[in-house]
Amino acid sequence: MMQMAHEDIDVERVRRDFPILGTSMNGKPLVYLDSAATSQKPIQVIDAISNYYKEYNANIHRGIYQISERATSEYIESKEKLAKFINAGEMAEIVYTRNATESINVVALTWGNENVGKGDHILISDMEHHSNIVPWMLLAERKGATLDYIKLDGAKAELDPKNLEEQLAKKPKIVAITQASNVLGTINDIKGITKMAHDVGAKVLVDGAQSAPHMAVDVKDIDCDFFVLSGHKMLGPTGIGALYGKREILEATEPLFSGGDMIRSVRHNEHAWNDLPWKFEAGTSDIAGGIGLSAAIDYLNGVGMDRVRDHEKKLVRYAIERLSQVGGVRIFGLGQDGVDRRCGVVSFKLDGIHPHDVAQIFDSEGIAIRAGHHCAMPLVTETLGEGALSRISFYIYNTESEVDAAIAAIETVRRIFKV
Ligand code: 7TS
């Protein structure tokens, strides 16, 4: 499908591609507002996976028969598509992993172990998911390095530019930062931060788990050294994620896992690594996952990432407007004037009511939302001083009437709890 600029997504048509959106939960039509946790899957992705198993299931890179050659070429094509999707230079820079978390761990355990030492600094931000905190905390503990956090501004919505400069003055070895926060929704100026980090000699890892599914990403333009994402958040299956790394860095880094496929030759006492990206993929790959992700990328390209972004901005603007009309609701992150710097995530709190109670009443209304610390405890618990938050999050298949359903559910919560 050609991308049509400035034309809205045909949401009703999109919704027909997602079988789960026609189902119900607790006897009510399913309203799925938890895509930041995982996205739903279109029939095109489900069929691509099932067709692989039905028609050409075979291992890759070794077959000299037709179905293995087909599986191999589709798996490679999936990487080529992903490389193009994030504008990597070449397929060799795309390593498949299980998810964004594994990708970050691979970098911390390979590049990190090789390049971070005693007394060094590692810089992350105060709006990271646990998966972009803990691997660095452990690396710092292993090496006797220090883990620093870029603080939030006074409104607790964006990074504090002054603190960013102060932290960079410590000349960290690596800056690992999310492009879009899964709690605040804030989109960071990742290109500007990368430039500043490079100026002090740091490498940069961008956590794209919440950005790649929702906006056009260009790793060459950002100039980051590593970029990670999860397939399951971008219409693809669970079990497949990616690590992008600049070729020269991946070339110079030793692999984490070893065994079959990642090796070119083995003698009794010698080995030689395979070419990139295979050097980082030991053992049989998630072939079905790669093929499913490929279909997901086709789907997103068909819709057009600019339209995905516009659609979510509209929903966020509408959700903030409606939520702020409800008494006792506090919204976290940037306000209405900051929607351009917000992804499709809106966290809120209903005063006097525990977010788990809110989520439970939503559930009884057929509405799926997330409640809790959102795997960002340093941010939610320490910086925001909250035990838990409610969160709604959007994707291409959500509608304003689903926002209305969420608002009606909040009114039900308020009636039940008499607040
Ligand atoms: N980074 C960010 C910014 C995330 O939001 C998540 C998952 C991850 C990394 C980890 O992704 P995974 O696929 O490796 O697990 N975020 C969420 C969430 O907000 N609710 O559930 C998972």
pLDDT in tens, 286-315: 999 999 999 999 999 999 999 999 999 999
106 CB less than 6 Å from ligand 1? Answer: no
35 CB less than 6 Å from ligand 1? Answer: no
Q: Model confidence over 330-363: pLDDT tens digits?
A: 999 999 999 999 999 999 999 999 999 999 999 9
Per-residue confidence band for 4, with pLDDT thresholds at 50, 70 and 90: very low
207 CB less than 6 Å from ligand 1? Answer: yes
CA angle, 280 then 284 then 285, to 5°: 65
If one residue of 133, 181, 375 were mutated to test the ligand 1 pocket, choosing by the most ligand atoms within 8 A of its CB, it would be 375
Q: Mapping DSSP to helix (H, G, I), strand (E, B) and coil, where does residue 175 land?
A: strand
For position 6, what pLDDT does the model report?
60
Q: Are strands 174-178 and 389-393 parallel, antiparallel or unpaired?
A: unpaired
Residue 376 Cα to ligand 1 middle (Å): 9
- Domains of the chain, each with CATH number or no CATH: 11-41+304-417 (3.90.1150.10), 47-301 (3.40.640.10)
| N-terminal to C-terminal alpha carbon distance within the chain | 49
If one residue of 103, 104, 107, 131 were mutated to test the ligand 1 pocket, choosing by the most ligand atoms within 8 A of its CB, it would be 131
Joined together, the tokens standing for residue 240 give 């497949």
The answer to pTM > 0.85 is yes
The sheet with strand 345-350 has its strands ordered as 329-331, 345-350, 389-393, 370-372
Atom of ligand 1 nearest to the CA of 376: 19
Residue 38 Cα to ligand 1 middle (Å): 8
Q: How far apart, in Å, are the Cα atoms of 250 and each of 178, 279, 322?
A: 21, 9, 47
If one residue of 96, 129, 394 were mutated to test the ligand 1 pocket, choosing by the most ligand atoms within 8 A of its CB, it would be 129
For position 259, what pLDDT does the model report?
94
Q: How far apart are CA 260 and CA 238, in angstroms?
A: 23
Task: Cite the active site residues.
Answer: 375
Average pLDDT, the chain: 96
Residue 129 Cα to ligand 1 middle (Å): 6
Query: Is it the case that residue 62 has pLDDT exceeding 90?
Result: no
Q: Model confidence over 150-187: pLDDT tens digits?
A: 999 999 999 999 999 999 999 999 999 999 999 999 99
